[in-house]
Structure 1
Amino acid sequence: MSGFHNASSSVPRCRSRSTNLRERGNILYRQVLEGGFCTAIRITKLEHARRLYQNALVLSLTAEEKASCHKNLGMLEWFHCKFELTHLLEGTLSDTLSIKDLSVCKVHLVEAVKSLSDALKHGAQCKSRIWIDHLENILRSIIEWAAEQSALVSICRSTFLQCVINTFEICDLPTNTRLLAYRKYLDVLLQEALRERLQNGRINHNVRQSLLQDCLEMTRKAFSCSAKGSDLDDEGRSLLDEIQGIHDSVSVEMCICDAMQAVALGDKCVSEVSKDGCCNDREKIKDALDHYRQALLLTREKDVESEAMAVSRLGKVYSGVLGSPDEGYRYHSQAVQLATRVMSPSVEMADWYKYSLDEVNAYHEKARPDRMGRPNKESRASRALQENVAALDKAAERGVKDLLKHVYQEHTHPDPKRNAIWRFESNASVKASLKRAILHYHPDSNVVYGDVWKKLCEEISKRLNRHYAVFKGC
C-alpha cells in the first residue's frame, strides 16, 4: 500500500475540462491586451474568449472553478466596455455621445459587474483573502473609471455610474464598495447641479431641482445600504460621514434653488409693473415683496450670497418702485454688508451687488449736505482709506503671502490676540493663515473699533476672501 501511494502521488493530477477551456480563453484574451491586431480581429478574439469562458463555467464542478470563470468573464466584459468606448470616441469629432451610442458599452459594463459579483460570492467559499481583496479592488477601479467618464463623455447624470449603481443594487456586494459607488455618484450629481447654478441668468431650475432630488434619493439608498449591512469598519464610517456631508450640502442647495425660483417670480412681478408704467399696482408689488421675503427666509444662515441677493431685491423695490429711499437704503446697505462677508469674483461682478453698492453710495452722497460741519475730517478719512486700499491692491497683486504680511504689519489689529504669526510652509498652512486672517478682520467682529476701522476691515476682507477662494480646493 505504501509503495502504491508513493507512485500515485508523483503523477500530476489531470486538469479539468473547465480549466482547459479557461486557459484557452486566457491565451486569446492576452493576445487582445497585447494589441497588434485590427479592431475587427480583436473583437472576434474577445468573442471567442467569451464563449470559451462561458463553456468553462457550464462545465465547472467546484466553487473555485466557478469563481475563476466568473472573474475571467468580468475582466473581459470590462475590457470590452472600455474598448468599445475608445472606438466610439475615435470615430466622432466631439466628446459628446448620446445615450443610444453608449448602449453596447453599458451592456458590457453591467455584465462585468454581475460576473465579478458572482466571482466574489463563489470565491468566498474557497479563495484566499488576497484573491478576494484583489477582486474588490477591481470593483473599486470600475467605480473610479465610471466616475472619470462623466468628464470625458458629456452626458447628464453620468450614465456609466448609473449602470454601476443599478447593477450593485441587484448584486450581493460588500457594503463599503456600494457606499463608495454612492459617494462617487453623489459627487457627480452635485457638481452638475452646481454648474447649473453658476450659469448666471440662464439657470434651468427644473433641471437643477431634478438633479438635487436625485442626490437626495441616492443618499437615502446609501443610508439604507449601511443600515442593512453589518457593523461598519473605519472606511465605511468615513464614507458614510462624507455622504452625510453631501446630503447636508444638497439640502442647502435645495433651499437656494427654491429661493432662486422665488426671486425669479418676484422679478417677473416687478417687470410687469415696470412694463405697465404704473407703480400703483399694489397687488403685484406686494407679490414681488412676498417672493423676495420667501427667498430671504429660505437662505438665511444657509447661503449668504443668495440671502444678500434677496435683500438687494427688496431694496430695489423700495427705492426704485415705491420711491422710499430711506427704506431702500436700509436693505441695500444690508445687502452690501452680507456680500462683504463672502466677497468673491462672482459676487463682485453680480448686477445686484453693483446696484446695491451704487444705491448706498448715492444715498451717502445725497446726505452729505446734512453733514457740512465735518467736511475736512471726513475727506481726510476718505483719502486715507483710498490710500490704504491702493496699498492693499498692490500687495494682493504680488500674491497671497505679501498680502498677509502687509495686512498684519501695516494694519496691526487693535486686539493683540488677533495679531497672529502667519505660516507659509505649504498650501495648507497658507490656507490656514488666510482663514485666520479672515476671522480676525471680519467687519462684523470689528464694529467696536469705530466706523473707519470697520470700513478698512471690509476692504481687507474682500481681498482676503478672493485669495481664499483659490485655496478652497487645496
Structure 2
Amino acid sequence: MSQGRKKSNRDSKKIIESDVTGVVKRYIDTGGYGFITEDVTRRNVFFHISAAVSKDIRRRDDPIRAGDEVIYNLYQAPKGFMAESVRILNQESSESDDSDDLHRRKDSRIGLRGRECRSGGRGGNRRGGSVGRVHELLKDWSDWSTENQHSSTGPGPEPQPQPRHPTCTCSNGGRGKVKDTKPETSTSSNPTSGWDHVKAEHTVRENTQPHVTPPNSTELSGSAKQRERGNIFYKSATEDFSATVRIIRLENAITCYKNALSCSSNRDDEASASKNIGMASWKLATIALESETEESEKRQQSILKHFKEALKFFCTAYVLRSYKSASWGDKLVESWENCLEEACEWLAMLDTAERVAGFSELLGYVPDCSLKANGYIQYSTLLFHEGLTAWQDGEYKECYRFMRECYFPVQEAERLCEGDCSIKSEIAVLQEDVYIHTCVAESSMARATGDDLLEEHLKNEETVNTNIIWTVIDFYTQAAMLCRDKDLEQEAIAYSRLGRVYGKVLTLPSRGKDYYKKAIQLALSMTPRTFHGVGWFMESTKFVEDFQKRLNKDEEEDKDKEAALEEMKEDVDKLSEMATKKGDLDFVKDIYKTWPPKAPGAKLNEKLSTKKLLLKAISHYHPDKVDKEVHGKNWFYFSGEITRHLNSKYACQKGVE
C-alpha cells in the first residue's frame, strides 16, 4: 500500500525549472526537512534532506544549514512547490578534490541510515521513531503548503537569510561588482519527493547529473572560478536533455564566461574566457540548426546571431593566442575553422539575398588567414552570380552595383591567400570575370540611357534637335567602346544603334550603312551562333539590303540620265550658256520662252520679285512635277538640269529681301 502511494505521489509531480538558486531559510535537523527561499521569486520551497546530493556534502557535522546558498530543480507537487537534487554552493570543506574530477559524471546514491543515526541521538527505537517523524513531517508540510500556495510567487514573509560565507565578487569593467552566484548544473534523472523517502526509509535514489566539486577558492582567481562554474553548465548541456534545457544551460554558461571575461586580470584569462564564449555560442547555433519548432525567420536570426557571437569571440581569443600554449592555439584554430565551415554550409541553404547579407556579417568576425580568403572567394562568387542574374533580367544598374561590390572581397582574398597557388589562380579567374562583366554592365547602362533619351525626343519633338541627337550618339559610342573585345554581341548592338541614328534620324544613309555593316560583321564572327529573329540583327540586315537596292537603282538611273542628256546635248549646252551669261530675271524669262514647263497651270508671273520668281520656277520645272511615262525620259532629265541651274540662282538670292 505504501509503495502504491509512493508511486502515485511521484507520478503527480511536474518539473517546472532546472538549476534554480536560493538560500536555505530553515532546516529542521530532527525531521530532516526544511524550506528554501528562491532568489528571484522569493517564494518558499519545501525540501527534504534526501533530496540533497551526497557528494556535495562535505561537512562532517551538519549536512545543510540555514543560510546555505543552494541550487536545485523546482517541481510542482500536489500540495505546493518542492525542491529536488539540492546542491550546496557555499560550504567550507575539510577535504580537497582533485581537479581532474571537475567534469566527471557519477551516480551518487544516498541513504537515510546515517541521517537517522544523527537525528536520533536521544535514544529509542530508530524505526519506531522514524514512523513518528513521518507523521510530524507530513503535518508540517501540509500546514506550510496550505499557507503558501497562494503566495508562492511573491516575496517570502521573512527576509532572506544572509549566507555565512561571502560569494565571489569580481570587477565588471567599471559597472560595479558581479556576484559569482551562477549555479552549477544538476538535474536528477529520477526525481522523487522528500516525504516518499521518509515513509520508505530504505529507498535509494539516483542522481545522474554531472558532479563537480570546486577546487579550493584560495587557489583560483575570480575569472577562473567563473569559468569553472560556466564549465559545469556547458558540460551538462548534453543531448540527453531537451533543446530548451540545453539552451538555458548554455546561456547560463555564457553568462558565467562573460563574467569571467569582465573580471580577467591578465591576457591568459581573457583568451580562455573568450574561447569558452565562442564554444558555447557555437553550440547554441548548432542547437538552433537542429530545432524546427521556431518560425523560419526567427530561427535564421537566432542562428546568425549565435554564429556571429561564436566567430567574434573566437577571433578575440585568436588575437590573444600568443599568451597561451601552442597546442591551445592549434585547438582554437581547429574550432573556429569548423565553426566557420558549418556557418558557410548553413548559409548555402538560404536564399541569395540572405546569403549575401550573412556572408557580409560573418566574415567581419573571422581573423586573417587562408580560410578567410576562401570565405571571401565564396562571397565574391555569390555577388558575381547575383549580378549576372540582374543583368539577364535587364536590371543593368543592379548588375553594375553587384560587380562593383565584388572588388573588395576579391582584393581581400588576394591579400590573405598567403602564396597559395590554387587560391591565387582562382582569384585571377574571378578578377577577370568581374572586370569583363563590370564593363559589359556599364556598356549596357550607357546604351539603355541613349535608348531612353532618343525615344523621349522623337516622341515629344516634331523637329530633330541636333544637340540631343549628338548626346545620344555619345552614349552609343561609349557603349561600343566599353565592351570592345570583351562582349562581341553587346558591341554589335551598340553599332546597330549608331546606324539607326545616322541612317534613320539624321538621314545619312551612307554613314548609317557603315555602322549597320559593322554590327552584321560582328554577328557573323560569332559563328556557329546565329542571330536570326533577333531584333537588332534583322534591323541591320534590312537597312543594308535596302541601301544596296537603292544604290543599284541609282546606278541604273545614272546610265539612263547620261544617255538622255547625250541626246539633248545642244539644249543642255544652250541652257548652261544662258545660266552663265544672263541675269536671274532674264534667265527665268528665257527658259519659260524657250522650254516652257509642262506642269498644268505653270505660267510666268513677272510681277513677282526675282527671289519669289525663282522659287516659283523651281516648283514648275522640278522633276517631281514631270511624269516620265507621259513626257518621256529626255524631258524628265532635262527638267532636272533646269532645276539645278534655278537652285544655283536662288541660292545667291538668300538673304535678299
Name which of 311, 331, 334 aligns with 2:515: 331
Partner of 2:485: 301
Task: Tell whether the 8 Å contact from 2:234 to 2:250 is kept in structure 1 after alignment.
Answer: no
Query: Are positions 1:110 and 2:110 aligned together?
Result: no
SS in 2 for 1:158: helix
Name which of 359, 367, 379 aligns with 1:161: 359
When residues 278 and 271 of structure 1 are mapped into structure 2, their CA distance, relative to the original with a 3 A threshold, is same
Name which of 230, 233, 236 aligns with 1:25: 233
Name the structure where strand makes up a greater proportion of residues. 2
TM-score (norm 1): 0.57
Give 1:312 deviation, angstroms.
1.6
AA partner of residue 126 (structure 1): S
When residues 243 and 365 of structure 1 are mapped into structure 2, their CA distance, relative to the original with a 3 A threshold, is same
Partner of 1:250: 434
Name which of 369, 374, 395 aligns with 1:175: 369
Task: Tell whether the 8 Å contact from 2:484 to 2:491 is kept in structure 1 after alignment.
Answer: yes
Give 1:255 deviation, angstroms.
2.3
When residues 48 and 361 of structure 1 are mapped into structure 2, their CA distance, relative to the original with a 3 A threshold, is farther
Give 1:267 deviation, angstroms.
0.9
Partner of 2:455: 271
When residues 340 and 134 of structure 1 are mapped into structure 2, their CA distance, relative to the original with a 3 A threshold, is farther
Whole-angstrom distance in 2 between the partners of 1:26 and 1:40: 14
What does the per-residue CA deviation read over 1:395-444, in whole Å, with 9 as the maximum and x for residues that have no partner?
xxxxxxxxxxxxxxxxxxxxxxxxxxxxxxxxxxxxxxxxxxxxxxxxxx
What does the per-residue CA deviation read over 1:198-239, in whole Å, with 9 as the maximum and x for residues that have no partner?
113xx151x33333332223344455x44xxxxx6443x543
Query: Are positions 1:44 and 2:248 aligned together?
Result: yes
Whole-angstrom distance in 2 between the partners of 1:142 and 1:348: 49
Name which of 331, 335, 347 aligns with 1:135: 335
Which ranges in structure 1 are unaligned for 5 or more consecutive residues?
Answer: 1-10, 227-231, 373-474
Give 1:293 deviation, angstroms.
0.7
When residues 90 and 139 of structure 1 are mapped into structure 2, their CA distance, relative to the original with a 3 A threshold, is closer
Query: Are positions 1:120 and 2:318 aligned together?
Result: yes
AA partner of residue 332 (structure 1): Y
Whole-angstrom distance in 2 between the partners of 1:302 and 1:347: 18
Give 1:294 deviation, angstroms.
1.2
Query: Are positions 1:184 and 2:378 aligned together?
Result: yes
Query: Are positions 1:214 and 2:405 aligned together?
Result: yes
Name which of 61, 67, 80 aligns with 2:284: 80
Whole-angstrom distance in 2 between the partners of 1:54 and 1:234: 38
**Greater Rg by CA:** 2
Give 1:317 deviation, angstroms.
1.9
Which ranges in structure 2 are unaligned for 5 or more consecutive residues?
Answer: 1-96, 103-214, 216-224, 557-657
Name the structure where helix makes up a greater proportion of residues. 1
Task: Tell whether the 8 Å contact from 2:288 to 2:299 is kept in structure 1 after alignment.
Answer: no
Task: Tell whether the 8 Å contact from 2:307 to 2:362 is kept in structure 1 after alignment.
Answer: yes
What does the per-residue CA deviation read over 1:19-72, in whole Å, with 9 as the maximum and x for residues that have no partner?
7545533434332xx6x73x6445324323433554666798998886665444
Whole-angstrom distance in 1 between the partners of 2:287 and 2:543: 60
Whole-angstrom distance in 2 between the partners of 1:322 and 1:20: 85
Aligned length: 336
When residues 248 and 137 of structure 1 are mapped into structure 2, their CA distance, relative to the original with a 3 A threshold, is same
When residues 91 and 351 of structure 1 are mapped into structure 2, their CA distance, relative to the original with a 3 A threshold, is farther
What does the per-residue CA deviation read over 1:272-317, in whole Å, with 9 as the maximum and x for residues that have no partner?
3431464633222222112101111111122222212211211222
When residues 351 and 344 of structure 1 are mapped into structure 2, their CA distance, relative to the original with a 3 A threshold, is farther
Whole-angstrom distance in 2 between the partners of 1:88 and 1:297: 54
Partner of 1:434: none
When residues 347 and 21 of structure 1 are mapped into structure 2, their CA distance, relative to the original with a 3 A threshold, is farther
When residues 12 and 333 of structure 1 are mapped into structure 2, their CA distance, relative to the original with a 3 A threshold, is same
Task: Tell whether the 8 Å contact from 2:227 to 2:257 is kept in structure 1 after alignment.
Answer: no
SS in 2 for 1:109: helix
TM-score (norm 2): 0.43
When residues 111 and 356 of structure 1 are mapped into structure 2, their CA distance, relative to the original with a 3 A threshold, is same
Give 1:185 deviation, angstroms.
1.8
Give 1:83 deviation, angstroms.
5.1
When residues 45 and 317 of structure 1 are mapped into structure 2, their CA distance, relative to the original with a 3 A threshold, is same
When residues 303 and 19 of structure 1 are mapped into structure 2, their CA distance, relative to the original with a 3 A threshold, is same
When residues 57 and 240 of structure 1 are mapped into structure 2, their CA distance, relative to the original with a 3 A threshold, is same
Partner of 2:571: none
SS in 1 for 2:348: helix
